[in-house]
Amino acid sequence: MPRGQFALALIVIGVFAISDLLDGTMARMRGTSGPWGNFLDATLDRVTDGAVFAGLALYGMRADLPWVVGGALFAVVTGQVVSYAKARAEAVGATANVGIAERAERLIITGVGVLLAAFGLSLALPAALWIVGVLGFITIVQRMLHVRGQLRA
């Protein structure tokens, strides 16, 4: 069960994030990237996002912090739909590479909230999670409008 050990969590997540960035870069540099690697990377990104926000939701439940629980759930749902919207756009012959908050921005904002919470600023975590959720929602709307415009043309 999550215990609110935010400093340790940031280190672990940071190591995984760096390795996630490096594996794709290395594959492209070596000329070994392909459809399977792209699929695997995108799928594991969704698993990672789910694990991070589920862990924060569990922490919020354990610590009786409903704003953390709600923010984490809102962030994970909008984050998953942002990714899904891009995949569905590509499936119908459009692109959806638009939006105010891509995955990196959402994780950075969450990381800053976790870091500030580790230093005792308790309102930073729920604020960061709700900001991530709102930015994710805006990104979904931006992608929907962008794809609609492409398909109407």
- Average of per-residue pLDDT across 129-152: 98
Is 120 inside a domain boundary? yes
Q: Which two tokens stand for residue 46?
A: 């969704």
- pLDDT one-digit tens code per residue, 23-60: 777 777 788 778 888 888 888 889 889 989 999 999 99
CA atoms within 13 A on the CB side of 133: 18
Query: How far is Cα 69 from Cα 60, in angstroms, rounded to an integer?
Result: 5
Give the residue numbers annotated as catalytic, written as ranges. Answer: 45
Is 90 inside a domain boundary? yes
Query: How far is Cα 67 from Cα 80, in angstroms, rounded to an integer?
Result: 20
Cβ–Cβ under 8 Å, residues 63 and 45: no
Is 66 inside a domain boundary? yes
Is 1 inside a domain boundary? no
Instruction: Count up the domains in the chain and report the number.
Output: 1
Cβ–Cβ under 8 Å, residues 24 and 37: yes
Is 59 inside a domain boundary? yes
Is 43 inside a domain boundary? yes
- Estimate the crossing angle of helix 124-152 against helix 35-62, to 10 degrees: 140
φ, ψ dihedrals at 119, nearest 5° = -95, 10
Question: What pLDDT, on the 0 to 100 scale, is given for residue 2?
Answer: 61
pLDDT band at 129 (very low <50, low <70, confident <90, very high): very high
- The mean pLDDT of the chain is 90
Question: What pLDDT, on the 0 to 100 scale, is given for residue 137?
Answer: 98
pLDDT band at 138 (very low <50, low <70, confident <90, very high): very high
Query: 0.75 cut: is pTM over it?
Result: yes
- CATH at residue 103: 1.20.120.1760
Domain span holding position 45 = 6-152
Question: What pLDDT, on the 0 to 100 scale, is given for residue 3?
Answer: 65
- pLDDT one-digit tens code per residue, 61-120: 999 999 999 999 999 999 999 999 999 999 999 999 999 999 889 989 999 999 999 899
